[in-house]
Amino acid sequence: IQNSIRPIANLALIGDNDIAQVADLATNIMAGYNIDTRSMPQVADVIASTISRSNVNIIETAESFKMAAGSLRLAGIDFTEASAAIGLLGNAGIKGTMSGTSLRSIVQRLAYQPKEAREILNKLGVSFTHWVDEFGIRKEKIRPLADIFEDLYKKGATLGDMQKIFHRTSANAAMQLAVNHKDLRRDTASHRASHG
């Protein structure tokens, strides 16, 4: 409680929200991402950075995470990059559950692509995964979102391609991430540097 009360109070002050509501929202976000409660100060800093740099508030951010946190975490998408993606989509008017649902759908397609999507990715020469060594074991992992969407943008992926790769329900969000890949990378770096 002592570790959490100051960052929660600061978030409540920034967002002009009830402190109990902010505490509930922040802990829900952390539970979805399986973040230990001792990390509340760092999580609060990332959330504050997100809402101060983009057109989302803490309630919209929490709604987005409610829909997508589990999938994002399981896909290995860093919390700071997920927050940057939520903020970026919010700037395009894709907020709350709409943003979270779109991100969840995008991540599911990063994990598995149907035949039509694989054909387009092969044509574009874009891969969603890369090989890494973890504790001496070679694993295939999903690449950072900024890297994936930068490649899609530079290889000329169209909205039609995005619909086939990510399904029409999340094609608009995917296109926003591609067009704004530089902002996604910048905001992710800003969130990582926001601690304290």
pLDDT tens, residue by residue, 106-142 = 999 999 999 999 999 999 999 999 888 877 788 889 9
- Residue 127: what pLDDT? 95
- Residue 19: what pLDDT? 87
**Which residue ranges of the chain lie beneath pLDDT 70?**
1-2, 196
3-state secondary structure the chain: CHHHHHHHHHHHHHHCCCHHHHHHHHHHHHHHCCCCHHHHHHHHHHHHHHHHHCCCCHHHHHHHHHHHHHHHHHCCCCHHHHHHHHHHHHHCCCCHHHHHHHHHHHHHHHHCCCHHHHHHHHHHCCCCEEEEEECCEEEEEECCHHHHHHHHHHCCCCHHHHHHHHCCCCHHHHHHHHHCHHHHHHHHHHHHCCCC
- Residue 61: what pLDDT? 94
- Residue 193: what pLDDT? 92
- Residue 196: what pLDDT? 66
- Residue 150: what pLDDT? 98
- Residue 111: what pLDDT? 93
